[in-house]
A and B are shown apart, each in its own frame.
Chain A
């Protein structure tokens, strides 16, 4: 094995870019890939050739991620691009998201699975409505780590004063958000200052480079290992001579640690049993924890099917048909009270009725507007839903898997809303 790469024991950091259009997100990702030597020659040559044919003075690194024809034509990002690179200890999955307000739904897509949100601002403009919106979305999505990268420092003479001013403005705004970990780094994505290599132009800055921070930020403790949650995804029944009586429940552990012998309850039926064994392919394992995909066998022949949840007897979610959640709306027809939608929560699909829209969040001021009883495209608000069957949910703040859902338009089949549960009752 090459001594530079040992993927078997590497850990994983997923991060997503955020910020207004043209603040330099794609350029930064291009720079990060280039300076960490993760770009292949043919990729770089293609980007150099395109930059030249477009008459640019410099190589447009954004072209490394702006992979669609229309993105290259318009010079903007339309949909998320996923890129990958690795350093000796960590693999990174990058979601480079669009800044344009019209494509907020794609930003939400990229950010939903992120461990870290990388918010860019243009040092010349400071915070814009869109950078605030993205910070709010990252905070609602409970992306546990955030970096504010103050970009284009080359265009403000690497001014410490500008950095301090934006830093202060953001810190002020962030007090109203839920951001457990924030790092503020002055950079130039185009020139490379403080991206992988330390800037020679900002001796006043003593913090880490972006790359150093990404390599060292501590992500292992972000999962819930206390509250056992196992949404049943698929019933495994071989019906073969060899495994005649085998009956297992396939799924991904959403929380806690499961062990053979554990006393468990199956929801919503409330039947109890014990874990007889946990299988990972052809091996029995001693314990399963998030995000492992395993097959759980129970001691008793209880009725369990897809959409059910296995939890601990004294620590289980409350089945609930009344859901209170923050919803991010992602289509042009507004969300209104009385509307009916399909809802998918863990492995359970049901229908939902919008009972009330309690308020709409102003992303600039974080003011709660209780007058407007609808949510337009890219708006966020607090919504009450009534579902046809009980959902087995936890607050999103406790568990990102059992606390989230999507809303689907039943006519078009399109995903139109993302929900983060406050509580079920």
Chain B
């Protein structure tokens, strides 16, 4: 827990926590209908923890939104339910399958589920009239994210215009919107992967167990270790074998790879990341490997 230092210095982790809490309160005070986008991964769990602290002993004054890709890890959904129940927040699920059934997004057989998340998400935001959506994006994750403001303005089409962002000074956030627009809010912008783990360790909070070392049946695809699952059929030449692995990120099961690891405690994970040679996304996220601007392009369209 936070130590109060005799010389009135706050550790960097406490400074990050204070900044994030400030952002949560600012949004809750100024926006009519905020929502927290929750994937069940470590970043959104830290977000939820920070929201819990920001309003305690009151409940979190906004619901949680999850885009159900149909390709989520069951362990992640379980953790999500535990969190939602413990905090007593309302969970809104926007399912890609429903979106396809309702003609909100088109499944042409070529578009990945990852991309279909965008239409599903934007539709859910519009249908529910959400004016601000918290996301767990961190600037250290990816070079397009590194450019994004804490308050990231989205037009009526949910698009981000990276060349024309509003200035954002001090901790004075500008939440002005026109009809139909919304704001994406990134309260953990300044946290790094290491900060997230350090915080999870310090707070002792629940995260999906796939982040810790376990035995898993995997196969190699595009240089990544992928989980064997009926959701991700094997292609010719791919061989399944059992390895000792863990996940560095929780994306959809068809695109998210794992890394070989024996790290089964948080200090061991921290030790592992401190010497890792690849970024978490470069190592294990198929969605970011297609082109140099993959993330920027998806973000412009309205991705998280």
Interface residues of A (CB under 8 A from B): 1-2, 4-5, 7-12, 40-43, 46, 50, 64-65, 67-70, 72, 78-84, 86, 91, 93, 105-106, 108-109, 112-113, 220, 223, 225, 233-234, 236-240, 242-243, 246, 250-252, 257, 279-283, 285-287, 289, 291-293, 295, 306, 330, 342, 344-347, 400-401, 404-406, 408, 413-415, 418
Q: In chain A, what residue has the closest Cβ to B190?
A: A93
Bound-complex Cα distance A240 to B292 (A)? 50
Instruction: Specify which chain A residues have a CB less than 8 angstroms from the CB of B195 in the assembled complex.
Output: 7
Q: In chain A, what residue has the closest Cβ to B19?
A: A291
List the 4 closest pairs (A to B, CB-CB), nearest first. Answer: A67-B143, A413-B176, A42-B282, A293-B21
Bound-complex Cα distance A41 to B149 (A)? 26
- Residue B17 at the A interface, CB < 8 A? yes
Instruction: Specify which chain B residues have a CB less than 8 angstroms from the CB of A405 in the assembled complex.
Output: 172
A–B Cβ pairs within 8 angstroms, 27 of them: A4-B274, A7-B11, A7-B198, A10-B11, A10-B13, A12-B15, A46-B292, A64-B143, A79-B147, A81-B147, A82-B146, A84-B139, A84-B140, A91-B12, A109-B168, A112-B170, A113-B170, A233-B26, A238-B58, A252-B18, A280-B2, A286-B4, A287-B4, A292-B18, A293-B17, A345-B172, A413-B174
Known: A4-B274, A8-B198, A252-B18. A404 touches B177 (CB 8 A): no
Known: A12-B15, A238-B59, A283-B1. A40 touches B166 (CB 8 A): no
Within the complex, which residue of A7, A82, A401, A408 is in contact with B194, where a contact is CB–CB below 8 Å? A7
The answer on a CB contact under 8 Å between B9 and A11 is yes
Within the complex, which residue of B18, B22, B283 is in contact with A42, where a contact is CB–CB below 8 Å? B283
Bound-complex Cα distance A223 to B7 (A)? 12
- Residue B293 at the A interface, CB < 8 A? yes
Instruction: Specify which chain B residues have a CB less than 8 angstroms from the CB of A2 in the assembled complex.
Output: 270-271, 274-275
Instruction: Specify which chain B residues have a CB less than 8 angstroms from the CB of A8 in the assembled complex.
Output: 11, 13, 198, 202
The answer on a CB contact under 8 Å between B169 and A404 is yes
What is the CB-to-nearest-CB distance from A64 to chain B, in angstroms, rounded to a whole number? 8
Bound-complex Cα distance A303 to B102 (A)? 49
The answer on a CB contact under 8 Å between B172 and A252 is no
Instruction: Specify which chain A residues have a CB less than 8 angstroms from the CB of B278 in the assembled complex.
Output: 40-42
The answer on a CB contact under 8 Å between A234 and B28 is yes
The answer on a CB contact under 8 Å between B58 and A237 is yes
Bound-complex Cα distance A4 to B267 (A)? 12
Bound-complex Cα distance A330 to B164 (A)? 12
- Residue B252 at the A interface, CB < 8 A? no
The answer on a CB contact under 8 Å between A68 and B144 is yes
Known: A42-B283, A70-B163. A11 touches B4 (CB 8 A): no
The answer on a CB contact under 8 Å between A400 and B170 is yes
Bound-complex Cα distance A220 to B10 (A)? 9
The answer on a CB contact under 8 Å between B56 and A220 is no
Within the complex, which residue of A7, A243, A246, A413 is in contact with B12, where a contact is CB–CB below 8 Å? A7
The answer on a CB contact under 8 Å between B169 and A83 is no
Q: Please, what's the 1-or-0 string for B140-170, where 1 marks a CB less than 8 Å from any CB in chain A?
A: 1011101101000000000000110111111
Bound-complex Cα distance A68 to B293 (A)? 7
Instruction: Specify which chain A residues have a CB less than 8 angstroms from the CB of B149 in the assembled complex.
Output: 109
What is the CB-to-nearest-CB distance from A296 to chain B, in angstroms, rounded to a whole number? 13
The answer on a CB contact under 8 Å between B55 and A236 is yes
Known: A1-B271, A108-B169, A236-B55. A9 touches B11 (CB 8 A): yes
Of B14, B15, B189, B277, chain A has the most CB atoms within 10 Å of the CB of B15
Instruction: Specify which chain A residues have a CB less than 8 angstroms from the CB of B1 in the assembled complex.
Output: 283
Known: A7-B195, A292-B10, A293-B25. A238 touches B176 (CB 8 A): no
Bound-complex Cα distance A329 to B55 (A)? 36
Seed contacts A7-B13, A243-B58; 11 additional CB < 8 Å A-B pairs? A41-B278, A46-B292, A78-B163, A106-B167, A109-B169, A280-B2, A281-B53, A286-B4, A292-B14, A347-B26, A404-B172
Instruction: Specify which chain B residues have a CB less than 8 angstroms from the CB of A414 in the assembled complex.
Output: 166, 174, 176
Bound-complex Cα distance A80 to B13 (A)? 23
Known: A236-B55, A237-B58, A415-B167. A43 touches B22 (CB 8 A): no
- Residue B290 at the A interface, CB < 8 A? no
- Residue B36 at the A interface, CB < 8 A? no
Bound-complex Cα distance A136 to B170 (A)? 17
Bound-complex Cα distance A280 to B55 (A)? 10
Instruction: Specify which chain B residues have a CB less than 8 angstroms from the CB of A112 in the assembled complex.
Output: 169-170
Instruction: Specify which chain B residues have a CB less than 8 angstroms from the CB of A295 in the assembled complex.
Output: 56
Known: A82-B189, A252-B171, A415-B167. A291 touches B15 (CB 8 A): yes
Known: A42-B278, A238-B59. A413 touches B143 (CB 8 A): no
- Residue B109 at the A interface, CB < 8 A? no
What is the CB-to-nearest-CB distance from A282 to chain B, in angstroms, rounded to a whole number? 6
Q: In chain B, what residue has the closest Cβ to A345?
A: B172
Q: In chain B, what residue has the closest Cβ to A78?
A: B163
Q: In chain B, what residue has the closest Cβ to A13?
A: B12
The answer on a CB contact under 8 Å between A105 and B167 is yes
Q: In chain A, what residue has the closest Cβ to B300?
A: A69
The answer on a CB contact under 8 Å between B169 and A5 is no
The answer on a CB contact under 8 Å between A291 and B18 is yes
Bound-complex Cα distance A234 to B61 (A)? 12
Instruction: Specify which chain A residues have a CB less than 8 angstroms from the CB of B163 in the assembled complex.
Output: 68, 70, 78-79
Q: Please, what's the 1-or-0 string for B259-293, where 1 marks a CB less than 8 Å from any CB in chain A?
A: 00000000100110011111100110000000011
The answer on a CB contact under 8 Å between B7 and A220 is yes
What is the CB-to-nearest-CB distance from A335 to chain B, in angstroms, rounded to a whole number? 14
Of A7, A220, A291, chain B has the most CB atoms within 10 Å of the CB of A7
The answer on a CB contact under 8 Å between A330 and B167 is yes
Q: In chain A, what residue has the closest Cβ to B199?
A: A7
Q: In chain A, what residue has the closest Cβ to B2?
A: A280
Instruction: Specify which chain A residues have a CB less than 8 angstroms from the CB of B194 in the assembled complex.
Output: 5, 7, 86
The answer on a CB contact under 8 Å between A225 and B53 is no
